[in-house]
């Protein structure tokens, strides 16, 4: 009897089910509704009621329903939850305990189970680790989380460090393991203790891992020995400490302190190339011609005794004829002059035949006893830094060459230039700026080097930044390959074995070459593990820096304090700037650039901001700003230009 019911027919038309299903990512919007992103061109509306079943970032399958000619997504099945293991803050009210995830995209308050498991009294704002134990699309109840670890109290000044390390499940402390004596490797170590080796590091460095010795040959060539600390002389492959080092992958350098890969007893004492103490090393001997070419490369084990621990700034002052410091004797002075000469020769060679880094400043956080940021120090790389850097690059080129020739494998740093799928886009952008390349040439090492040199002559970093998103990421491989970013045929690091497990592996490979032993190629599982740990360490360092910047800059909110900034990017809704004095990144929304939105054009493609057909700002401009807002939860800084006179 309902077959021809007009009301039912009308309802069916309004809610016409297509029986189609799509897969996508949920994006929650401010007003409570959501969007299901299927791809960059297609998305579907999710009703606020349906959003109760999902969380921002969930990967789901949804049914598509046509409601009043509008396609809507109804969540049906969970593919991958946005949250699994996560950190957050306790929200406590009466007998109800929940957790608020520490994520800028989430505002959900998630009820907690198994509270007593932590065996501690929780207060509002305390930091904990939790794991999602139920999801509406997967279980028969709403969102619930299980508390699995306590991190730190709500008022702990070191929360930025402990919370971030817990977020990525990274270690807080150095390995705690007893060390034995040196292992018997059957290596015939050369006795070089009489040579005038020196170390150059930051004044506070304790884990000195490289020492340099250089002399001039009768034909004016330079003969150099790079001696590298040898932790593998204490750590047997497959031992407990070796497994710990392989799991950690790297020393984790964080603002204010570091978390070592190896026990400090080893890195800061037994293997550290301290002055006037006999130490085992793995060494590379190489001759550098007056043209900068490397010949007569030889690797061997040795004993050395550093004659001086020198500091970057002291050496730089002396070489630049400033300051009061001077070498302790003429032998050390001679070493420094020859090392300076080596730097000039090799730097010129790399400019002609490879690529040279731009000299960008480093920013160092000075942390107080209570974890507060006292000051952010700008450190520019000076001549002594460049000397050591050039020496290490030289040594790693030698390692790449010897591993390739003798074994055909190792752990190599590689970079393939532009992503093959993006080359055409890169060529098009270059052409619009008068730089003409074809796909074949830009995909070669020589072509990439030529392009990089052209980009370095550009007046701003705009084009360079724009092209960066079309480039592949640097990575590591167990096979030789070019490093386009350095402009080199291959590159294998071995100069930081106390800080990088990959360098420890290359030490063992080089020792096998020295001894004439057979050794297997590092497997891909190890490569993947090291790569993932490197990625996590980088993210953790960035997250802590963002947190500390937000805390430090917050005291300038609403003040007249002027910050000098450089415009880095232009977006559709504003621009990103870098505070030159401290390295913090701030966002300037378009409404603070020009009040009349219809008169404002944020041209991302050309890196300019235009008002009434006149350029107001462009990427690379240096402008003054004040701070108007800092969001500590999101670790973001909002700034306002002090002068926006139309140019």
For residue 544, what are its two tokens? 């802590």
613 is catalytic: no
Find the range with the poorest average confidence among 9-18, 269-278, 343-352: 9-18
Contact between 365 and 254 under an 8 Å Cβ cutoff? The reply is no
Which of 44, 312, 343, 412 is labelled catalytic? 312
Find the range with the poorest average confidence among 3-7, 141-145, 599-603: 3-7
412 is catalytic: no
State pLDDT tens for residues 424-438: 999 998 998 889 999
* 423-456 burial: b if 16+ Cβ within 10 Å, else e: beebbeebeeeeeebeeeebbebebbbebbeeee
278 is catalytic: no
Which of 58, 126, 209, 317 is labelled catalytic? 209
Which of 207, 268, 317, 543 is labelled catalytic? 207
Find the range with the poorest average confidence among 28-37, 81-90, 234-243, 378-387: 28-37
| pLDDT value at 1 more than 90 | no
| pLDDT value at 5 more than 80 | no
Which of 499, 508, 618, 635 is labelled catalytic? 499
For residue 252, what are its two tokens? 């984790």
Q: Given this model, what pLDDT does residue 444 score?
A: 95
Tokens 């050369």, residue?
190
501, 511, 568, 596: which is closest to 242 by C-alpha? 501
Residue 403 to residue 409: CA distance in whole angstroms: 6
Mean pLDDT of 486-504: 97
Which of 210, 230, 268, 503 is labelled catalytic? 210
| pLDDT value at 205 more than 70 | yes
Which of 196, 201, 317, 621 is labelled catalytic? 201
In DSSP notation, 104-160 reads TT----EEEE-GGGG-S---TT-EEEEEEEE-TTTSSS--EEEEEEEEE-TT-TTHH
Mean pLDDT of 180-205: 94
Question: What percentage of the chain carries pLDDT values higher than 90?
Answer: 78
156 is catalytic: no
**Domains with residue ranges and CATH for the chain:** 14-80 (2.40.50.140), 85-156 (2.40.50.640), 190-358+380-403+485-519 (no CATH), 416-472 (no CATH), 557-641 (2.40.50.140)
């Amino acid at each position: 009897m309902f077959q021809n019911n007009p009301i039912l027919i009308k309802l069916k038309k309004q809610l016409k089910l297509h029986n189609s299903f799509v897969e996508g990512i949920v994006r929650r919007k401010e007003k409570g509704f959501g969007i299901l992103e299927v791809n960059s061109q297609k998305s579907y509306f999710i009703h606020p009621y349906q959003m109760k079943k999902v969380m921002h970032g969930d990967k789901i399958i949804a049914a598509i329903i046509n409601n009043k000619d509008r396609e809507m997504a109804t969540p049906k099945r969970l593919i991958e939850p946005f949250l699994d293991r996560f950190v957050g803050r306790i929200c406590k009210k009466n007998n109800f305990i929940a957790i608020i995830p520490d994520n800028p995209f989430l505002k959900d308050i998630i009820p907690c189970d198994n509270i007593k498991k932590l065996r501690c009294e929780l207060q509002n704002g305390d930091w904990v680790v939790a794991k999602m134990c139920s999801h509406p699309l997967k279980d028969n109840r709403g969102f619930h989380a299980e508390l699995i670890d306590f991190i730190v109290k709500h008022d702990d000044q070191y929360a930025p460090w402990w919370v971030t390390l817990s977020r990525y499940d990274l270690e807080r402390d150095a390995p705690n393991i007893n060390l034995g004596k040196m292992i018997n490797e059957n290596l015939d170590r050369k006795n070089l203790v009489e040579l005038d080796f020196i170390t150059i590091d930051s004044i506070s460095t304790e884990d000195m891992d490289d020492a340099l010795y250089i002399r001039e040959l009768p034909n004016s060539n330079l003969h150099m020995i790079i001696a590298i600390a040898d932790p593998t002389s204490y750590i047997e492959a497959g031992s407990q400490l070796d497994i710990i080092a392989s799991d950690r992958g790297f020393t984790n350098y964080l603002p204010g302190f570091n978390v070592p890969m190896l026990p400090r007893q080893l890195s800061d004492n037994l293997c550290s190339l301290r002055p006037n103490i006999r130490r085992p090393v793995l060494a590379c001997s190489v001759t550098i011609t007056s043209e900068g070419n490397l010949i007569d490369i030889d690797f061997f084990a040795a004993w050395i005794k550093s004659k001086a621990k020198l500091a970057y700034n002291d050496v730089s002052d002396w070489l630049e004829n400033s300051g009061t410091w001077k070498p302790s004797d003429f032998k050390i002075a001679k070493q420094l002059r020859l090392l300076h000469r080596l730097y000039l020769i090799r730097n010129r060679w790399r400019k002609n035949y490879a690529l040279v880094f731009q000299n960008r400043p480093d920013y160092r956080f000075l942390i107080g006893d209570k974890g507060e940021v006292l000051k952010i120090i700008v450190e520019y790389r000076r001549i002594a830094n460049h000397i050591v850097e050039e020496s290490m690059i030289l040594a790693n080129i030698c390692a790449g060459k010897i591993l390739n020739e003798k074994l055909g494998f190792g752990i190599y740093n590689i970079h393939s230039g532009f992503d093959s799928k993006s080359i055409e886009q890169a060529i098009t952008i270059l052409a619009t700026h008068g730089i003409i390349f074809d796909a074949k040439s830009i995909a070669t090492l020589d072509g990439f080097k030529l392009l990089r040199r052209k980009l370095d002559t550009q007046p701003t970093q705009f084009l360079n930044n724009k092209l960066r998103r079309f480039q592949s990421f640097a990575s590591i491989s167990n096979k030789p390959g070019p490093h386009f970013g350095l402009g080199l045929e291959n590159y294998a690091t071995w100069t930081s074995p106390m800080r990088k497990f990959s360098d420890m592996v290359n030490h063992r490979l080089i020792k096998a070459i020295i001894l004439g032993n057979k050794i297997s190629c590092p497997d891909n599982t190890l490569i993947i593990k090291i790569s993932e740990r490197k990625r996590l360490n980088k993210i953790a360092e960035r997250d802590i820096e963002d947190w500390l910047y937000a805390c430090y800059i917050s005291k300038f909110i609403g003040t007249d304090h002027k910050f000098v900034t450089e415009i880095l990017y232009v977006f559709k809704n504003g621009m990103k700037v870098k505070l030159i004095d401290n390295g913090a990144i701030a966002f300037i929304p378009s409404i603070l650039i020009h009040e009349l939105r219809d008169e404002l054009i944020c041209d991302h493609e050309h890196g300019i901001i235009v008002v009434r057909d006149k350029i107001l700002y462009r990427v690379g401009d240096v402008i003054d700003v004040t701070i108007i807002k800092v969001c500590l939860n999101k670790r973001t800084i909002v700034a306002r230009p002090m002068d926006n006179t139309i140019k």
